Structure 1
């Protein structure tokens, strides 16, 4: 029975990874520019995105496997869950975690930079004339990657030789088996903990800036995704307006042919205005062609059709995502305040909280659903995809910046290979930060012990199972700070929570910054969310200004009828021509 349950859990994980592979491929093909597509860049981006999503989705598998060893209703271990069997499960999970974390670090710090320089080193003219060999291109990319190799070695050496946190080691409040286990580690584990803790720290800064903004913008982006005019109608109306514009220009030029002074001042102003309008209409025509999927990859065209079919649901989904975002915001705020106020060791151990003292909705939902696998797995998958999508929207909206300078822009169908690789690295670091945020703030009890409980009753004999039918006994949820010896034998913390707590307790600086950065994340979300209540954000504003010059300021619920008409026309590919009336971008003329 135990083998069947364990196999089902791993099968569910394999299915989720397969789904993630499709999502990663869709993300890459959707954003990359068709003309600049490179097979090496595409493959690396898809594989890296899949690997980092597989890492964060290992958490519910971890929780399900460690929780499967106990009978939560009776507060004791199952008969088959001997110490050796439990240790075997934990060791297997540790191997998978270390493999995935190491793979993520190698991809982020070595493979992606090498692919970036490999693409940069390609010289089309030299390759056509045989002047650039594979070896020359390889060495050109590798010599720039050496700096990253040196950086990885330095991180490992610093983590290997850095001393233990003396403050944490001498703190009497940490004199529990749970904390002793975290402090007693070898140099190799400490080096890996330091390296990933550093990457997690960098990722948390990006997580707060981009995911915080994206979590507020994603629901609004879904609601605003249905245009007020369909692509076929926009193309038809724009072509008609462009034809009328050029005809008027020909009339003005013909009227003034042979005149010595040329155009008079009034006609000159009108002609200049028509020329500016012509440029705008040409840009609008190009935008309509791109929106309809003309001259695009078949995957993009299919995606555009699917988006049009599901547009009515996206309006409802947008409002549901607003509710979900507010639920996550309140859960993180509750946990943050609870940890800051009630953690017995505060900064010394990364604000570890024994148990949640205030009702926390996300944690409660996941703990209750975890009693029946895979309900919690499905909910957790949706939570991860929401954070991931919010990160993508945040990066696409803000762009890849250095201070106030925009380095790269992330746009659907127009993202260069270099920008796509840098966005992949940023998403990699964000996922590492997401691991901390979900495990320690969004759902700390679920991520540490799941539904595990223990019987608060000490048996008379050492080998006797605790009996919760005793009058003075009760079943309590497992906790990091429980002093009852029975909890040590029954409660098995998840491997991920153990690893994160090991990072924060051995390197308190990481723990302090990671914890307080969650409040920065909440602050950025709140500012952007409140802004969207009064002004609809213009995603990728600079590009919109170039394409349409005058962006329509429209409320979330405005022009609902036109939006559904536009959806139907985008699905069928036919425009509705209103004779005598031209409707473009919500304006009637």
Structure 2
């Protein structure tokens, strides 16, 4: 057991390094204060500690020790509550108004973060006073849902609410990255020579348009109208952006790293195909889980669509077989989480951080302002919470029982409790999903996941290769 938890410590250290790299990559290099970095690293680090514990929990999967693992999850989620409802808002509002002096910024940040904390407390109280009846389930499942205090119900309700917001971010950014990243790797960038030629042509056209407008007013000796003045300014901006793009492409073309990347172009395409196949593999698994949860769950949404028995979900079968040679399933789990962090960041970078359809800001290397960095971390934390629930669609058998078998030598089903040991994370998740609203919401969200992925994939296949430089029109 010591060796297994040592593995958790090693992955936690890896996690710290990964988080530090992400923060350093996006942080504004001119920003001298480190408060946002400390808050961001701490927040993302905590959610990853929870995630890294899941394969170990499944490996040991002992219902007699469920109180220990439950305490672990509840305890760390209390920290998550403070991070989301207090620390992150405080950091966001502190950096949001740089025109105030430091004292006024602190006071304003405390007031507004207190308001956010009160909202979280209200949600917690609602969960505390809501109907706390355990779902009407078969006797062998009662062990999952009993022995809960009102505080547990309140915490589970609050986590469920956070999961709803997390799924919205998941559908916005993660699905976009899951669809677009493999295709962008396969297609690569546009040919530099061709793009340079196109940029030069656009520069000539923009200059000629501007010259025609300016010549017209020069010949007539009349003042430029507001409409044409705006057009002239717009054309000047376009020229500057195009010149900047041309210079940047020419500079990058001479860099050693760019030459190495071009040399490794076939390898990039190879990884693109691997990621595409893996993404399709996951989406097919989710689709099958959606069908199984409707057709093979005796208690339905009342218990979170717990499956009656093992399924033919391909990713689930892979994880179950890998768990027989632990820690192989642990390595795959970690790789998936890291991959989903990367594609989520890719999605945020491509479409920008948004509230509904309104773009707030874009992530930029070494130039992301502190409040946007904090917003990015809050989004990743919510996506991390969602990933806990998603694994019960990616690999429901593995997440619930691992590779355990019953007395007949068959993979465990829910009817084999207590002879089969259900994982602590399964108890934790299914308790939250015993609220039908959350279980139905997550089922529908996964259906949207499959549909959105398919649509974005089709669109991305039709899009041309991306530019070597992002510039405004």
Q: What TM-score do you get using the length of structure 2 for normalisation?
A: 0.85
Measured against aligned partners, the alpha-carbon deviations of 1:67-124 in whole angstroms (never above 9, x if no partner) come to: xx7xxxxxxxxxxxxxxxx74x43432332223222222212211110011223444x
User: Which residue among 163, 169, 188 is the counterpart of 2:131?
Assistant: 163
More moved, 38-47 vs 106-115: 38-47
Q: Which residue of 2 aligns with 1:320?
A: 274
Aligned-pair CA distance for 1:538: 5.1
Aligned-pair CA distance for 1:305: 9.5
User: Which residue among 356, 360, 370 is the counterpart of 1:407?
Assistant: 360
Measured against aligned partners, the alpha-carbon deviations of 1:392-424 in whole angstroms (never above 9, x if no partner) come to: 122222222233321122233332222221111
User: Which residue among 411, 415, 418 is the counterpart of 1:477?
Assistant: 411
More helix by share: 2
For 1:144 and 1:289, locate their aligned partners in 2 and report how far apart those are by CA, in whole Å: 47
For 2:406 and 2:236, locate their aligned partners in 1 and report how far apart those are by CA, in whole Å: 78
Measured against aligned partners, the alpha-carbon deviations of 1:161-217 in whole angstroms (never above 9, x if no partner) come to: 111247x3xx3xx13232354144111111111110111112112212321222101
Aligned 1:546-561 pairs, distance under 5 A:
546=472, 549=473
2:192, 2:249 within 8 Å by CA — same for their partners in 1?
A: no
Q: What TM-score do you get using the length of structure 1 for normalisation?
A: 0.69
Q: Which residue of 2 aligns with 1:459?
A: none
Residues 281 and 393 (structure 1 numbering): CA distance in 2 closer, same or farther, change over 3 Å?
closer
Alignment of 1:30 onto 2:25 = yes
1:30, 1:412 within 8 Å by CA — same for their partners in 2?
A: yes
Q: Which residue of 1 aligns with 2:284?
A: 330
Q: Which residue of 1 aligns with 2:226?
A: none
Q: Which residue of 1 aligns with 2:380?
A: 427
Q: Which residue of 2 aligns with 1:100?
A: 76
Measured against aligned partners, the alpha-carbon deviations of 1:263-286 in whole angstroms (never above 9, x if no partner) come to: xxxxxxxx99x9788535422156
Aligned-pair CA distance for 1:25: 1.8
For 2:22 and 2:187, locate their aligned partners in 1 and report how far apart those are by CA, in whole Å: 20
Q: Which residue of 1 aligns with 2:178?
A: 215
SS at 2:406 equivalent: strand
Q: Which residue of 2 aligns with 1:452?
A: 404
Q: Which residue of 2 aligns with 1:14?
A: 9
Aligned 1:225-244 pairs, distance under 5 A:
225=188, 228-229=191-192
SS at 1:356 equivalent: coil
Higher gyration radius (CA): 1
SS at 1:351 equivalent: coil
Q: Which residue of 2 aligns with 1:555?
A: none
Residues 178 and 537 (structure 1 numbering): CA distance in 2 closer, same or farther, change over 3 Å?
farther
1:165, 1:508 within 8 Å by CA — same for their partners in 2?
A: no
More moved, 528-537 vs 190-199: 528-537
Measured against aligned partners, the alpha-carbon deviations of 1:494-545 in whole angstroms (never above 9, x if no partner) come to: 111101100111x1111111112100111110100111222247599xx934
Alignment of 1:283 onto 2:244 = yes
Residues 260 and 197 (structure 1 numbering): CA distance in 2 closer, same or farther, change over 3 Å?
closer
SS at 1:406 equivalent: strand
User: Which residue among 181, 191, 201 is the counterpart of 2:154?
Assistant: 191
SS at 1:510 equivalent: helix
Alignment of 1:110 onto 2:73 = no
SS at 1:491 equivalent: coil
Residues 497 and 227 (structure 1 numbering): CA distance in 2 closer, same or farther, change over 3 Å?
same
SS at 2:360 equivalent: strand
1:37, 1:417 within 8 Å by CA — same for their partners in 2?
A: no
Aligned-pair CA distance for 1:41: 1.2
Alignment of 1:48 onto 2:24 = no
Alignment of 1:389 onto 2:342 = yes
1:354, 1:479 within 8 Å by CA — same for their partners in 2?
A: yes
SS at 2:30 equivalent: helix
Q: Which runs of 5+ in 2 are unaligned?
A: 222-231
User: Which residue among 105, 116, 131 is the counterpart of 1:137?
Assistant: 105
Q: CA RMSD in A?
A: 3.6
Equivalent residue pairs, number: 453
SS at 1:407 equivalent: strand
1:218, 1:389 within 8 Å by CA — same for their partners in 2?
A: no
For 2:367 and 2:97, locate their aligned partners in 1 and report how far apart those are by CA, in whole Å: 21
Residues 224 and 479 (structure 1 numbering): CA distance in 2 closer, same or farther, change over 3 Å?
same
Q: Which residue of 2 aligns with 1:496?
A: 425
User: Which residue among 394, 402, 412 is the counterpart of 1:442?
Assistant: 394
Aligned-pair CA distance for 1:379: 0.9
For 1:33 and 1:394, locate their aligned partners in 2 and report how far apart those are by CA, in whole Å: 20
SS at 2:414 equivalent: coil
For 1:280 and 1:197, locate their aligned partners in 2 and report how far apart those are by CA, in whole Å: 45
1:63, 1:448 within 8 Å by CA — same for their partners in 2?
A: yes
Alignment of 1:509 onto 2:446 = no
Residues 435 and 277 (structure 1 numbering): CA distance in 2 closer, same or farther, change over 3 Å?
closer
Aligned-pair CA distance for 1:20: 1.6
Residues 260 and 332 (structure 1 numbering): CA distance in 2 closer, same or farther, change over 3 Å?
closer
Aligned 1:224-303 pairs, distance under 5 A:
224-225=187-188, 228-229=191-192, 278-285=239-246, 287-288=248-249
SS at 1:492 equivalent: coil
Q: Which residue of 2 aligns with 1:345?
A: 299
1:31, 1:414 within 8 Å by CA — same for their partners in 2?
A: yes
Aligned-pair CA distance for 1:64: 1.5
Aligned-pair CA distance for 1:320: 0.2
SS at 2:336 equivalent: helix
